[in-house]
Amino acid sequence: MSKEKRLTDVWTYINDRQKFTIKELSEEFNLSTKTIQRYLIELNKMGLPIQTEKGRNGGYRVLNNSYIPPVVFTEKEVMTILFALKSLQIYNYKLMEIEIDSIMRKVSYERKSSTRIGIENMKRYIGFVANDEAVKSSDVVEFFRASSESLILNIKYKFGNQVLEKNICPIGIYLNKGTWFSPVYDYKSDKIILIRIDKIIEIKKVGESKEVHISLNEWLETAYSNLYESILSIKKIGETICLNVLLTKEGVSKIKSSSYDLDIKLNEDGSGVINTFIKHEEIDWYVSILFSLGSDAKVMEPKFINKLLYDKADELRYFYEENMV
């Protein structure tokens, strides 16, 4: 067995223990006490914080058991890991900067290796523009912790021009086009709703949930499967679907002042409702109209049109971002 392999085995063994002695290691690995002492000195130089405890029941202990043994990476693997870490700049993750810088230093070499040159080139020639609507790292961490520990949170968050308050239990977090989302169990409505974490104003822990909710992967599969099936179900030319849209008073005014010939049922307060059947080939046309109305039109059915509107808004956002500089 090579010395590197024995060092790694000793590292793993002592890292899993709160306390150990030279004699214990000597018997475990069938090595002399002098060899074990040399190994401990080398492991300490490699970064494993080993502390000597004096006294009758003295010995050694690892100050922090979260250290992992050395892992051998290829140059391509190192560059892939560093590229992924650097890409986190786009999310304004100040919370990770210290750790990322530490990793960068550990994989750099004193000699002029190709890996070191690659790292320097990555710093010099690759940049990621931070998302202006960056979410607070602490909020993402809070939602992650609440998901993994089944915590009940009281949150206040922005919803349009309103500030809503809810008791929720997150089931996970996911990133979609630079924005963090969390499907959460809403205790008031007794169903899973989707929360944008960047809209959170305040978070408070109020308890622990004893209920088992759907997993994040199950929710994602169901959500996107339902969306896909809804689109497929109306793809036959000539087949119709029911379009139900709520219009504000301003939305009704915008449609009336335009050339769009839409059947609107008016309410007493001047707002209105579009309730009609449309064909698959007309969907893009209606999406364009609804997009021009902005927040003055709320699509109730079919739900997948909201996803089409979201994608259209996202395309426009990226268009303006690319042309800002």
CB 183 within 8 Å of CB 192: yes
User: Domain residue spans in the chain?
Assistant: 3-62, 75-125, 137-218, 233-322
Residue identified by tokens 């009281």 is 154
pLDDT recorded at residue 304: 84
pLDDT recorded at residue 156: 93
pLDDT recorded at residue 64: 67
pLDDT recorded at residue 93: 56
Q: Tell me how crowded residue 94 is: count the other CB atoms within 10 A of its CB.
A: 10
pLDDT recorded at residue 318: 62
pLDDT tens per residue, range 73-98: 777 777 787 777 777 666 655 556 67
| CATH architecture of the domain with residue range 3-62 | Orthogonal Bundle (1.10)
pLDDT tens per residue, range 154-176: 999 887 677 889 999 999 988 77
Q: Which tokens in the block code for residue 18?
A: 């709160």
User: Packing angle between helix 216-232 and helix 304-322, nearest 10 degrees?
Assistant: 100
Q: Which tokens in the block code for residue 27?
A: 């018997």
The verdict on pTM exceeding 0.85 is: no
> Does domain 137-218 sit in CATH 2.30.30.520?
yes
Backbone phi, psi, residue 39, to 5°: -65, -40
pLDDT recorded at residue 237: 46
pLDDT recorded at residue 1: 64
DSSP letters of 95-157?
A: GGHHHHHHHHHHH--SS--HHHHHHHHHHHH---PPPTTPPPHHHHHHHHHHHHHTEEEEEEE
Residues with Cβ within 8 Å of 254's Cβ and at least 6 positions away in sequence, in order, are 292, 293, 296
pLDDT along the chain (325 residues), means of 10: 79 81 90 90 81 72 67 74 72 63 65 65 65 65 88 88 88 80 90 87 90 81 67 55 88 83 85 84 84 88 85 73 55
Buried b (16+ CB within 10 A) or exposed e, 184-196: bbeeeeeebeebb
